[in-house]
Amino acid sequence: MERIYSQEILELAAALRSGERLEAPDATVRRTARICGSVVEVDVCVKGDVVTAFGQEVNACALGQASASILAANVLGAGVAEIRMVRDQVAAMLTEGAPPPEGRWADYRFLLPVRDYPARHGSTLLALNATVECLENIAQARAGAHGS
C-alpha cells in the first residue's frame, strides 16, 4: 500500500487548491466514492466546446486529492472531448493496464500504482467523473434549449 503514496502523489495532493468554487457555474456535480467516502463537488463553465472556468471542493484521500490537483492544473482551456478522453484513459490505465495520458495530462502517470488497488480506483477517478458529468449536463441543457 505504501508504494501508491509516492512522494509525487503526496506533493500533488499538497498542491491541491480546494474550496475555490464558481459563483455562477454552467453545471455543478457532487460525487462520492462508495468504498472510501471521498467527496468532490465540481463547478464548470464552458464556452463553445472549451472549459473556461473550473472550481472544486475536495474532501478525499491523497489519491483523490492528487487526481483532482492534476485535473485542476490542466482543465482550463481544454476541450470537452479532451477531458472525456483523459477520463477514459485514466480509467483504462487503472482497469485495463493501458498507458497513462500524455502531454499536459502526463502527471496521471504517478497514479499508475493505483491499478493494483481496485478499491482505490473510485477515489482516483472521482474528480474526473464529476467533471465529465458536468460537461454532459451542460451539453444536455444546451440541446434542450435549442430543441425548444
- CATH code at 26? 3.90.1010.10
CA distance 17 to 68: 9
Handedness of CA 82, 83, 86, 91 (dihedral sign): negative
Q: Are 92 and 85 in contact (CB under 8 A)?
A: no
pLDDT value at residue 147:
65
CA distance 29 to 138: 11
Among the residue ranges 10-19, 22-31, 63-72, 127-136, the one predicted with the least confidence is 10-19
Structural domain count, the chain: 1
For residue 15, the enclosing domain spans 2-147
Query: Residue 134 above 90 pLDDT?
Result: yes
- How confident is residue 49, by pLDDT bands cut at 50, 70 and 90? very high
- What kind and span of H or E run contains 55? strand 50-59
Q: Whole-structure pTM over 0.85, yes or no?
A: yes
